[in-house]
Structure 1
């Protein structure tokens, strides 16, 4: 059990690093910077690691992007809400389309609305309550389209299931009770 948690933590760290490396690939839209790779990473985390790792990875990536100057404060609500909703919907349904819809809705609608007070109160930006919904939707759409192809292929090939030890059959000749 501990080995799986270490593997999950290591994979989350790798995904944070990928998010940071790819953070210059962003599209400025108003006060926000749309980062489609972050949304792809949110879906990877939500599907393969679960909602708590998804939120943690989104938080750490957003924090480090802000420290490096490649992100804004608006990265927090958008990425974290998307990762959470994606992870929760996948955890309880095991359906990839719901995970994708969770990322889109969580980032654009919930994250977009939660960004309003941050933009107005903390960043001094003038904005409408729903002013971030469309830019966040565009950003998460790009990452979701990427995820639809890659996550679907990874699930079929059991890429992370093997890495994380989530296969139902025993590994290395050991039964479940002896792992």
Structure 2
């Protein structure tokens, strides 16, 4: 068999599927949907991360400013108020970071001894952990602060203050009474405040605004 002319292979539609205009637009919309969803997730995560950073900065600033209220060496009730509130709002990791930042700033600016750290970080972390394990019980967060600061932090403060700070005449349980008293005062204030927020529904709204945004595919799963 012969041909009058050579076939135009360059313009031939070899191996290419043929779509109608409506079918092509339908397929294109399906391809674009995951891209729009991914962009939306990224924007929400960025906004959520920024909100958490702003809230953390507010807690740190507030903790530094109000820390002198009712403070004596070995007792800082307002620090425990911040610890419990931050732990309930943002979880143990952010509560720990908040306590560290407040402690370091107080030590650098106010000349506070290392009690600013030993009397805060353990309670803040345990407060968040206890709150999460109890599935949202505020009293558990307060209990975590009392155990973490009033007992663990107080005992750890002895070697820190003795061997690093050079203070004499201390014992292992020297700071326990004052630390427990401070946690009871600050924890009680936080307990009343958080209960009030929970009763009005504001606590849930704040927690929802600060928690991680799940990806769309995770929601679908």
The answer to whether the 8 Å contact 2:74/2:175 transfers is no
Please tell me whether residue 142 in structure 1 is matched to residue 195 in structure 2.
no
Q: Are residues 1:79 and 2:123 paired?
A: no
1:96 matched residue in structure 2: 138
CA distance in 2, matches of 1:3, 1:92: 28
The 4+ residue runs of structure 1 with deviation greater than 4 A are: none
Write the deviation string for residues 84-128 of structure 1: whole angstroms up to 9, x where unpaired. 000001112121111111011111100001111111011111210
Q: Secondary structure at the match of 1:81?
A: helix
- How far has the Cα of 1:65 moved from its partner? 0.6
Counterparts in 2 of 1:24-173, with a 5 A limit? 24-28=68-72, 32-69=73-110, 71-93=112-134, 94-126=136-168, 127-166=170-209
| SS in structure 1 of the partner of residue 171 of structure 2 | coil
1:109 and 1:119 mapped to 2: Cα distance?
Answer: 16
Question: Which consecutive residues of structure 2, in runs of 5 or more, have no partner in the other structure?
Answer: 1-44, 211-217
Higher Cα radius of gyration = 2
Unaligned stretches of 5+ residues in structure 1? 168-175
How far off its partner does 1:70 sit? 5.3
Shift of 1:139: 1.0
Check the 8 A contact 2:113/2:165 in 1, yes or no.
Answer: no
Q: Quick one: distance in 1 between partners of 2:195 and 2:54?
A: 22
- TM-score (norm. length: structure 2): 0.70
Q: Is the 8 A contact 1:77 1:112 kept in 2?
A: yes
Q: Give secondary structure in 1 for the equivalent of 2:119.
A: helix
Q: TM-score, normalised by structure 1?
A: 0.85
Contact map agreement 2:118 2:153 (CA 8 A) in 1: yes
Preserved CA contact (<8 Å) 2:56 2:94 = yes
Structure 1 residues 104 and 90 mapped into 2: Cα distance closer, same or farther (>3 Å)? same
Distance 1:9 1:161 in 2: 19
Q: CA separation in 2, counterparts of 1:164 and 1:69?
A: 32
Q: Is residue 33–residue 72 contact of structure 1 (8 Å, CA) maintained in 2?
A: no
Shift of 1:177: 5.5
- Structure 1 residues 53 and 76: alpha-carbon distance in aligned structure 2, compared to 1, 3 A threshold: same
